[in-house]
Structure 1
């Protein structure tokens, strides 16, 4: 990258967006985009990920396609672009009337719009991809890219179609953006998106202004009372007045919001069961400072752009450390101190196991496999939807499972085909169910890793960072375990099993070393998920070896 290009990026950032300074990570990623590389950027919430595509687009010959999972998130990003001296930004989605969609397409075709926002569901439509191919898309941006990975905490089946869409567009440069992706998730999404000779820009996951704490409880009533008392105290203090409370269920969001409102706190519930207008009103009221507290399920997260959130309280344990990190990342985006408190009762983890135990769609697997096998020739997703009577999300999940099992393939036109006409439908279903079973084991193992974070007496920040492949040698001094004096001085040298190395276990197969502590290792195994092993037992019994050294049975 020439100094001239770098200077132009900085000039455009200041003149068009009013950003006089760019971080080293932003500049590194932007330079790679302009040079034509695929880029994976993992930057914390509030670090300016959107700038990585917004500025380079002004130097490219063609529009940027931005794949974004939520309409509210698209709306906020478009609003931010409209407020600056840049070409038009438009969205195309199912909530629009036909005339609005056509006007948006025309804006892009004419060159008036340089940014086109789509939800991944739109890209499942052949006609949409065909229209995009005619536009000469210069850049494909995958926002919230961790949704691509089945190892990620917010896996979205529609995101799995993006790799084939990128190929159908001629594979222009791709930018994958996320705030939370452990090393195995990064490897998985690179593979699924088909990134080529990509560059990775990974910022530190450490947020030193966030004070981490866990409150452990044994009974539900006592925990609820403690959550309410904590939030009341935080909102009474001017230094910590505004915040978020995350609850496990819709009913719990309404319970806590009602109780806080009775205490004179401006609080509101937010969950996916509310209609869109009500969710928008809560979102805007919170953003505008008309609410002190939003009590939400995980539906409230992506796209929340409020810099002065002073606390995040979890009334129950979330489903994984990935979810937890993303949700607490809403706090302290202005760099000022914020309080992070997890109220934890081991029994609550059974709720998370239930909430994440989605059963594989066996009947839809049979229907899709049978339809594709009988056709022989490739079939479009639209034709398949006419033949298989199931909701779109269920069909998409079934197709993805069959693809991951190697039973179905997608060609360059986005059409689906049965790979082996001799393979019976029931065997195809069983292979897909095996893939679904591995995913469920992974989900359950993530819940266990979350419980280990809650139970640790070592430095809580060090434990959290290790999960994302970042080593913190000494206790942070800014978490409850450090303040209690239980955190150890420093982990022992991890030379035997470097973080990121591939290893094999005789029973559990291959995996990647995720974290090494003084007395234990955390490994993400391909087939059984996360396992925490005693370091002493591993060394004494030779339980792990470099990948490839075990003889397969």
Structure 2
């Protein structure tokens, strides 16, 4: 049995290690808390914005725990950046990816086996390769770090099917401690990450949700042409001697249109979206990061790897699909802590686009076809199932993932009947659609509130709201009320409640006259407190 050193002694070790290996005399909020939990044998979910030092948490823990640390990261560019950062600190690190030759991969694995490699970075796809998984398991890693962990969650705004198996893959690596890291995760995503990765005695560390150096503003429109013209005028105003900025659009066509219009107005701008070639996207990303391209008009595809400290403004030309996406995109501004601006061009009609893009509920016949194909082939590989289906592997892959999720959520045995599984899949898809629809409505509430906009967003994420930000448009106009909660209200943030119609939910925010609850089957609902108390609508469980 290992005897732990006193916490004060281990705290000193953490700080000494931070200064010795990384040159940091002080740690940022949440970093020491996360490292200490890992040293205590607990798993950690660390939710903090990009630039807030999430990587340092796993790096410090990896060095203090000894052994090999495996880092799962979705993008080759992100992996290479982290390898370079570790090597710069004098630590041994390598990337295992499709970009390395067979000889190089063998050399990397040999170094890891010999104990000469402290950090091994790879993608979920690489870890899912049986040969690679066996090699990594043989290393008996002491720590696994999962970057961009919101991709694990089917409730998240950026769910990636490749991440779905990560929990079972990590389990096959022995019993490593796990730290999952993400920049944005609302309550359902936090819980889903912990469940999917089977985090043990998990400590959830939330930090850096505040955007107190970003002036949040909403401008409202009833006409689409007026909205478009005003977005361009806003960029004219904000880009004058103010450095770089990003204009986010919901569609590829919108990004192209805004970029073209900005070029015609004399700006140096480019579009970025998933419909462009990888080469073009890389060119735009690199030019923007080097400061050669000051403006990018982009869809949400312009996200991972955009860690530029001097972005002075972010403008949303349309309403994004959720506060999760909005807060992450807004948070790309002002990372140098200097003042930045975020403007949402809000037209209520745009909300219909968000509802259109919510996840479709599959047809029962398609679900039955996939289940029968899985039984006939003995496989869940969408490519193998294709021979038995009337639709392509992409749709098959989505349905396979829904089958897995539904089985887990409903706790169905392997021999559950066809009809039972179909019902569970449809029920799961309907719950997802309701949640996504409620997120669209939360964007309406954000755009139309007179409350401090920063306080509204903090409440959405279930973070503590202490006071008004003082710099958003509502605060500046004197509209925002004080952020004080009546101590007599019997509902605490993150407490569990039950509603007769909506079922079990978690309180995410309490205001003077209303309460917001995230219900498991209905999504976000905002209820008037006087009605809740008068009619006894909520039972604290």
TM over 0.5: yes
Change beyond 3 A, Cα 1:476–1:143: same
Aligned to 1:523: 517
Call closer, same or farther: CA 1:407–1:242 in 2, change over 3 Å: closer
Alignment of 1:455 with 2:448, yes or no, is yes
Structure 2 vs 1, CA of residues 544 and 159 (structure 1 numbering), >3 Å: closer, same or farther? Answer: same
Structure 2 partner of 1:272? 274
> Is 1:513–2:511 an aligned residue pair?
no
Query: What is residue 430 of structure 2 aligned with on the other side?
Result: 437
Give CA-to-partner distance per residue, 1:190-223, whole Å, 9 cap, x none: 1221111122222241121111110111111101
Instruction: Please identify, of 440-449 and 33-42, the stretch whose mean Cα deviation from structure 2 is larger.
Output: 33-42
- Encode CA deviations 1:455-483: one digit per residue, 9 max, x unaligned: 10121111111111123344322110111
Cα distance in 1 for residues equivalent to 2:535 and 2:87: 62
1:134-154 deviation digits (Å, cap 9, x = unpaired): 221221111121222232222
2:303 pairs, out of 276, 293, 301, with 301
* Structure 2 CA distance for partners of 1:360 and 1:234, relative to 1, 3 Å: same
- Is contact 1:504–1:510 with CA below 8 Å preserved after alignment? yes
SS at structure 2 position matched to 1:310: strand
Instruction: Give distance in 1, aligned partners of 2:366 and 2:60.
Output: 43
1:346 matched to 2:348? The reply is yes
- TM (norm. structure 1) is 0.89
Per mean C-alpha deviation after superposition, the further-off stretch among 394-403 and 44-53 is 394-403
Question: Compared with structure 1, are the counterparts of its residues 276 and 114 closer, same or farther at alpha carbon in structure 2 (3 Å cutoff)?
Answer: farther
Contact 2:386 2:393 in 1 (8 A): no
Match of 1:87 in 2: 92
Shift of 1:105: 3.4
Residue 62 of structure 2 contacts residue 68 of structure 2 at CA under 8 Å; is this kept in 1? yes
Structure 1 pair 121–64 and aligned structure 2 pair: CA distance change class (3 A): same
Q: Give distance in 2, aligned partners of 1:366 and 1:164.
A: 26
After TM superposition, the score normalised by the length of structure 2 is: 0.91
Cα pair 1:368 1:388 within 8 Å, conserved: no
Select which of 38, 47, 59 maps to 2:43: 38
Quote the offset at 1:341 in angstroms: 0.8
Most deviating of 307-316 and 11-20? 11-20
Q: How is 1:134-533 mapped onto 2 (pairs within 5 angstroms)?
A: 134-236=138-240, 238=241, 240-358=242-360, 360=362, 365-373=367-375, 386-389=384-387, 394-406=395-407, 419-421=413-415, 423-424=417-418, 426-493=419-486, 495-533=489-527
The alpha-carbon deviation at position 171 of structure 1 amounts to 2.8
Pick aligned residue for 1:50 from 46, 55, 75: 55
| Alpha-carbon distance change, 77 to 476 in structure 1, aligned in 2, over 3 angstroms | same
Q: 1:316 to 1:14 in 2, by over 3 A?
A: same
Which region of structure 1 is more displaced relative to structure 2, 299-308 or 99-108?
A: 99-108
SS at match of 2:65: coil
Distance (whole Å) between structure 1 residues aligned to residue 409 and residue 456 of structure 2: 40
Structure 2 residue 117 is the aligned partner of structure 1 residue 113? yes
Q: 1:434 and 1:408, CA in 2 relative to 1: closer, same or farther beyond 3 A?
A: closer
Rounded Cα–Cα distance in structure 1 between residues aligned with 2:108 and 2:369: 36
Alpha-carbon shift at residue 393 of structure 1 (Å): 5.5
Tell me the residue number matched to 1:550.
Answer: none
Aligned-pair CA distance for 1:17: 2.6
Contact 1:242-1:311 at 8 Å conserved across structures: yes
User: How many angstroms does 1:320 deviate by?
Assistant: 0.7
C-alpha contact 2:47 2:206 (8 A) present in aligned 1: yes
CA offset digits 1:14-36 (Å, max 9, x no partner): 33333332224212212222333
Partners of 2:393 and 2:18 in 1: how far apart? 40
Would the aligned equivalents of 1:74 and 1:91 in 2 still touch at CA under 8 Å?
no
State the secondary structure of the residue aligned to 2:170.
Answer: helix
1:470-529 CA distance string (max 9 Å, x none): 233443221101111211123441632111111111111111111111221111111111
Give distance in 2, aligned partners of 1:89 and 1:114: 9
1: CA distance between counterparts of 2:209 and 2:437?
Answer: 24
3-state DSSP of counterpart to 1:58: helix
The total of aligned residue pairs comes to 532
Conserved in 1, the CA contact under 8 Å of 2:29 and 2:207? no
Q: Deviations over 1:376-425 (max 9, x none)?
A: xxx6656x853555766645533332233227999xxxxxxx9353613x
C-alpha root-mean-square deviation of aligned residues, in Å?
2.5
How many angstroms does 1:442 deviate by? 0.6
Secondary structure of the structure 2 residue equivalent to 1:180: coil
The alpha-carbon distance between structure 1 residues 230 and 408, as it changes in their structure 2 partners (threshold 3 A), is closer
Unmatched runs of 5 consecutive residues or more in structure 1: 411-417, 548-553
Alpha-carbon distance between aligned partners in 1 of 2:46 and 2:457, rounded to the nearest angstrom: 20
Taking a change above 3 Å as real, the CA distance of residues 257 and 164 of structure 1, as seen in their structure-2 partners, is same
Aligned residues of 2:359 and 2:429 also touching (Cα < 8 A): no
Q: How does 1:526-541 map to 2 (within 5 A)?
A: 526-541=520-535
Pair 1:407–1:545, CA change in 2 (3 A): closer
Q: Per-residue deviation at 1:92?
A: 1.8
Shift in Å, 1:158: 2.6
Q: 1:400 to 1:496 in 2, by over 3 A?
A: same
Measure how far apart 1:429 and its partner are: 2.2
Which secondary structure state, in structure 2, belongs to the residue aligned with residue 319 of structure 1? coil
CA distance in structure 1 between the partners assigned to 2:146 and 2:250 by the alignment: 28
Distance 2:106 2:247 in 1: 40
Alpha-carbon distance between aligned partners in 1 of 2:118 and 2:397, rounded to the nearest angstrom: 30
* Structure 2 alignment gaps of length 5 or more: none
